[in-house]
Amino acid sequence: MNQAILPLPLASSKSSVRCVNAGARKLRIALYSLDTMGMGHMRRNLMISQALSYSNLQTSVLMITGARQASAAQMPPGVDCVTLPSLRKESNGNYLPRSLDIPVEDLKEIRVQMIRASIAAFEPDIFIVDNMPRGALNELDVTLEDIRRQNQTSCVLGLRDVLDGPEQVKAEWHKAGNEETIDKFYDKIWIYGDPNVYDAVHEYKMTRNIADKVSYTGYFDRRIRFEQHTEHTVKSSRSEFNLPDGRFVLCMAGGGQDGAPLTKTFARATFPEDMFGVVVTGPFMPSETKAELHHMAASRTNLKVLEFVNKPTFLIHQADYVIAMGGYNVVSEILSFEKRALIVPRTTPRHEQRIRAERLKSLGIIDVVLPDQLTPEGLSAWMENASRCPSTPSVHAQVDFGGLSRLPALVREICQIK
């Protein structure tokens, strides 16, 4: 599998990328996400694709993802995906094949060649990379070299609001050579957050060269995408989940890989008298944990267990309260709809979720309980209190949620389109 990677033919040097003179064809935008822990990276790129597809820009969008669930997602017009054979990330930070029984280096080689061939054939005007400048296992290195040599594609690094604790980010970026990679290959950095919640440039002490490339987009408002659906679609989605009428509390564990403690604790909690509970396990939850949750639900009339949910936004919109882990996407969705929420953030191996949760708690718009304080009695008390005091947080008056609306203008800026 250690086949040599041959260089692509060199294109003639150009002073600007192709999209400056675009007109004969639609803008081509490629997005990469590694997707080794959950589906947050893929879902974020899907939202970006949707925002660009439904804008007044003329685009063709290719998603390159390691989450096979992307192929089940409803793609907007002009969007398609290439699904890479999947990796999973261990709690110690090591990568392993998720499904294929081959050495991880062989799997990396397959992914490298698929990414490189896809970008070479698609010839994007903009390449948006989520979170890791060099990709998982540095699998983007040769593709980034090709792009810089061809000089026809602008590269954008997309970062969530919080990456990790400052010391952890400093050490990780130094070890990975991220600053050098950004200096050499990336034209812009989009941070999908509000600096009034978390100022990544300041917190991570980014160098002037890096900071000058940064634009804060604001968080992604899920109401924009949701409003494109009719009331009939919303009602039919509830029927699709086989949910009864009535009020419910929603529990979400992200991809589910480490969601057993939260979901099993929720399943043992007591719900308010007029409510039922819904657990979404996530596709990566171990099968034995899913079986245990289904067994627990079978003995209760007010608990429903769902596994992979293609449209989690519909569930969050319809839920009365949400109890969830603290990933970027689920928190953004919860806040978009100003739901009363209790966040149980992951605290290892990264501090990202805890930092995000604590900042938002300080604004008074979510409640937080750490994993080592999680009990069925505590969840029961929180739900009962929320039921007795049904106030909703004032989110949009405090936090910038204009990210999806700003993306087309950021693309126009890169491509110098008026």
- Per-residue pLDDT reduced to its tens digit, 399-418: 999 999 999 999 999 998 86
Q: Does residue 86 belong to any structural domain of this protein?
A: yes
What percent of the chain clears pLDDT 90, i.e. is strictly above it? 73
Angle of CA points 286, 84, 146, to nearest 5°: 145
For the chain, how many structural domains are there in total? 2
Where does the pLDDT of residue 38 fall: very low under 50, low under 70, confident under 90, or very high at 90 and above? low
Same domain, yes or no, for 265 and 314?
Answer: yes
Q: Which segment of 49-53, 60-64, 86-90, 187-191 scores lowest on mean pLDDT?
A: 86-90
137-150 mean pLDDT: 97
Residues 306 and 206 in one domain: no
**Same-domain status, 44 and 84:** yes
Residue 156 lies in domain: 18-220+402-415
- The pTM of the full predicted model, rounded to 2 decimals, is 0.90
Whether 141 and 267 share a structural domain: no
Q: What is the mean pLDDT of residues 208-224?
A: 95
- Per the CB < 8 A criterion, the answer to whether 153 and 146 are in contact is no
Residue 417, pLDDT score: 84
pLDDT of 173 reads 96
Q: State whether 147 and 189 are in the same domain.
A: yes
Q: How deeply is 167 buried, as exposed, middle or buried, from its count of CB atoms within 10 A (0-12, 13-18, 19+)?
A: exposed
Do 171 and 238 have their domain in common?
no
CATH number for the domain spanning 81: value is 3.40.50.2000
Between 5 and 318, the more confident residue is 318
Does a structural domain hold residue 394?
A: no
Task: Give the span between the Cα atoms of 204 and 124, in whole angstroms.
Answer: 30
d(Cα 141, Cα 159) in Å, to the nearest integer? 18
* DSSP state string for 262-291: HHHHHHHSPPPTTEEEEEE--TTS-HHHHH
212 and 284 co-located in one domain: no
Instruction: Evaluate whether residue 4 is within a structural domain.
Output: no
Stretch (H or E) spanning 319: none
pLDDT of res. 309:
81
Q: Say if residue 207 is in the same domain as residue 296.
A: no
Segment 342-358 shows an average pLDDT of: 95
pLDDT band at 240 (very low <50, low <70, confident <90, very high): confident
**336 or 13: which carries more pLDDT confidence?**
336
Based on the fold, state whether residues 269 and 210 are members of the same structural domain. no
- On the question of pLDDT at 91 being above 80, the answer is no
In a domain, 137, yes or no: yes
Considering the domain architecture, whether residues 179 and 305 belong to the same structural domain is answered as no
- Minimum mean pLDDT among 66-75, 134-143, 235-244, 293-302: which range? 66-75
Is 21 a residue whose pLDDT tops 50?
no
Please report whether residue 312 resides in a domain: yes
For the cut 70, the answer to whether the pLDDT of residue 361 exceeds it is yes
- Tell me, yes or no, whether 64 and 206 share the same domain: yes
pLDDT at 418 (0 to 100): 67
Residue 397 lies in a domain: no
28 and 109 share one domain: yes
